[in-house]
Amino acid sequence: MKLGQVRELRDFLEREGYDTFEYKGGCFDLAARKNRLLLLKVLTNIDSFQKGQARDMKLLSRLLDSSCFLVGKRTRKDSLQDDVVYERFGVPAMTPGTLISTLKEDYPTKLRTRGGFFGEISPEKLRELRREANMTQVELADKVGISQKSISEHESGKKRVFYEKVEALSEVFSEEVKEPINPFEMAEREVSGNATKSRISKLFEDIGLHTHTVRRAPPELIVRSESTLLSKSRHGKRNIDEERLYRFSEISRSDAFLITDDKDRSKKLPCITKEDLEEIEGREELLKILEERKPSA
């Protein structure tokens, strides 16, 4: 079932002009780019999404300036609803239909959390409609069944409101006060608990480059220079990881390289050895070596 969902979503994205990359068994299943880079994890049951997968997705999203979404059809208890955005470990989750609408900038209007369904209202519009109705905050609060303090807070700035109260406010004024919820603005960007630094990571950091380890993605290591560098350790003759890293570097528009035991091993990516890293004295020297070792087109 999941494979069919991934293919349906990939086919839709490609019809809409997205370049896509499918990656099985990782923290994401699809990467897609049109005007922006998307990382999508597709699961029938979104409750099977794991904390480690979320960490890696959010890390990639932050370092590659992309957006990550979880796409599914149900939780352990219920079917997911369209026009609702859910959340798992700080990653926005939604149905395939809601994702398609979101990509067309037709955003959902409800947020589902453990506390129930919530919505957002426009502070300016709420204040304007109340004043046009010659109504005090106390009078409006009584009609809706909330406190005057809540009305004051809602007029002062955006705040999540129980969805039934959003509908009640709309009924009072015979006009919609709800605002769409933009999933692109929801995803958490902070990622805690980076993995223990490997010997390779420390070699990069010795020459002034920050590194981040990823366990469930085409790159194993993300190296931050003036741009983002993606790397993968590779030994032996298999080239499937090389091909995945190369393809992901294309769609993410990031430079990539392999850390191997042979500097001339790859036909698609520049290679660097552990011995090279031990001798390199600075960032500029590393970038120069990688540029010189790029395979000919």
> Domain span at residue 150?
117-179
Neighbours of 294 (CB within 10 A): 13
Q: How would you class 40 by CB atoms within 10 Å of its CB: exposed for 0-12, middle for 13-18, buried for 19 or more?
A: buried
Q: Does residue 11 sit in the same domain as residue 95?
A: yes
Over pLDDT 70: what percentage of the chain? 92
Question: Which residues are bridge partners to 91 per DSSP?
Answer: 88
Of 89, 108, 127, which residue sits at a domain end?
108
pTM for the whole thing? 0.89
Q: How far apart are CA 62 and CA 190, in angstroms?
A: 8
Whether residue 204 is contained in a domain is answered as yes
Q: Does residue 78 sit in the same domain as residue 150?
A: no
Which residues of the chain form beta strands (DSSP E)? Answer: 19-22, 30-33, 37-42, 67-71, 84-88, 91-94, 110-113, 116-121, 161-162, 178-179, 210-213, 221-224, 228-233, 255-260, 271-273
Quick: pLDDT tens for 101-121: 999 999 999 999 988 999 999
Q: Does residue 27 sit in the same domain as residue 9?
A: yes
- Number of separate domains in the chain: 3
Beta strand 37-42 with 255-260: parallel, antiparallel or unpaired? Answer: unpaired
Of 82, 108, 134, which residue sits at a domain end?
108
Q: Does residue 255 sit in the same domain as residue 158?
A: no
Whether residue 296 is contained in a domain is answered as no
Give the model's confidence band at 295: pLDDT under 50 very low, under 70 low, under 90 confident, else very high: confident
pLDDT at 297: 63
